[in-house]
Chains A and B, each alone.
Chain A
Amino acid sequence: ETGVTQTPRHLVMGMTNKKSLKCEQHLGHNAMYWYKQSAKKPLELMFVYNFKEQTENNSVPSRFSPECPNSSHLFLHLHTLQPEDSALYLCASSPSADTQYFGPGTRLTVL
């Protein structure tokens, strides 16, 4: 248990659906991150938020839309995804620039 929670843990959606992934931490961390982990590929950083402001968008397609309403919550809104977007989506939070703590992930399948 790292103190970072993610819901849902599993999600199956069609290409025309709209869904959202949620990440929550009450560790007092100021930075939160979304990562994508596809099969046989390294973790890819998607977005970084520091003090609720987006500081990094790693060339992510616009069908992924992050939202950080406060420093404890981070969302990833999904719409018109493609089958190749199927992956494990991991959220992390950090008290500093160096050490990150990960949630359990949401395993997403796009049909």
Chain B
Amino acid sequence: GIQVEQSPPDLILQEGANSTLRCNFSDSVNNLQWFHQNPWGQLINLFYIPSGTKQNGRLSATTVATERYSLLYISSSQTTDSGVYFCAVVRSTDKLIFGTGTRLQVFP
């Protein structure tokens, strides 16, 4: 099956810093989503981005489908950005395949 790998596995930042999270996938996909899981377990959709670039406030994402990767940019990070960031891909069915996540800790 398709493999979804995320890097780095862990990231520690000071408030105000910028960061880039990467998601690599091993085969072509119909869709890619980025999620943020907060410390209480809630998964929040960040982006639905099968290709191209999208921006939402301090967050932006770029997917280069032909090269099988996606990047999530976090600028001016805040402590509330802490949590785990997952990318998930969809191939031919409605099954989301999740990566292993990047755990982000932002300290004041």
Contact = CB atoms under 8 A, between A and B. Distances in A.
Interface of A: 2, 31, 37, 41-43, 45, 48, 50, 55-56, 88, 90, 92, 94, 97-102, 104-105, 107
Interface string B83-101: 0001010100111101111
A108 to B, nearest CB: 11
B70 interface: no
A48 B4 CA distance: 21
Interface string B2-31: 001000000000000000000000000011
Contact of A99 (B4, B42, B48, B100): B48
27 contacts: A31-B94, A42-B98, A42-B99, A42-B100, A43-B86, A43-B88, A45-B95, A48-B94, A48-B95, A50-B94, A90-B43, A97-B90, A97-B94, A98-B30, A98-B31, A98-B50, A98-B90, A98-B94, A99-B33, A99-B48, A102-B35, A102-B43, A104-B41, A104-B42, A105-B42, A105-B43, A107-B41
Nearest to B6: A42
Interface residues of B, number: 24
Chain A contact residues: helix, strand, loop or mixed: strand
B64 interface: no
Contacts of B50: 98
A37 B37 CA distance: 11
B43 A98 contact: no
B53 interface: no
Contacts of A92: 43
Contacts of B44: 2, 102
Contacts of B93: 97
